[in-house]
Each structure stands twice: as structure tokens, then as C-alpha cells.
Amino acid sequence: MAEAQRASITRIYLMAFFVLLFVTAVEAVTVLVFRFPAALRVTILLICALVKATLIGAYYMNLKFERLTMVFIATVPLTLGILMFFAIVPDAARVLGLH
């Protein structure tokens, strides 16, 4: 019984690893191969980052049964990133003369 459970856990970790590898490949192809508009490229990369953060939190940090923690792992960095973006854009526009 213990051996079957160990094989099942190993299979789950390997599947999570391969999904993370696939998402990383999607990110690399999005940036290096395709010439998407900047807004679409950033959207794809943010979605990939959220998927990766959720998978790492759920399977490698053993948080898949702690829903509130998983929500915080996904939303707090995204919220902070959006706030930083809107805080920096006016200064960058002024420096670049786009204002």
C-alpha cells in the first residue's frame, strides 16, 4: 500500500513539473518567437505567471487544501505589480516626453 501511495505522489509531482515546464516554454516562445503586440504579450506572461505560482503553491508548498493562502499567493503579487505599474508609468511618460 505504501509503495502505491509513494508512486502516486511521485506521479503528481512529475505531472506538476511537466506542466510548469510547458508553461515556461509557452513564456519563452511568447517572447522569443512570436511578435505579439506588447499588451497581448504582457497579458499572456501574467497569466502564465499566475498559473505557475498557483501550481508551485499547491503542489510543492503543499497548500492545495488552504484556499485562502492560495488566493493570497496569486493575488497579492499581481495587485502589487499593477500598483507599481501605475505608479511608474506617469514618471516614465514624463521622462520620455510622452506626457
Residue 99 confidence class, pLDDT cut points 50, 70, 90:
low
* Cβ neighbours around 31 below 10 Å, total: 12
- Euclidean distance between CA atoms 97 and 39, whole angstroms: 21
pLDDT, position 21? 96
The grid cell for 77 is 503579487
Q: Domain range spanning residue 22? A: 2-96
* SS3 assignment, position 62: coil
Please answer whether residues 99 and 93 qualify as being in contact, where contact means their C-beta atoms are separated by less than 8 angstroms.
Answer: yes
**Structural domain total, the chain:** 1
Residues 14-70 pLDDT 10s = 999 999 999 999 999 999 999 899 889 999 998 999 889 888 888 888 777 787 887
User: Which one has a higher pLDDT value, 35 or 2?
Assistant: 35
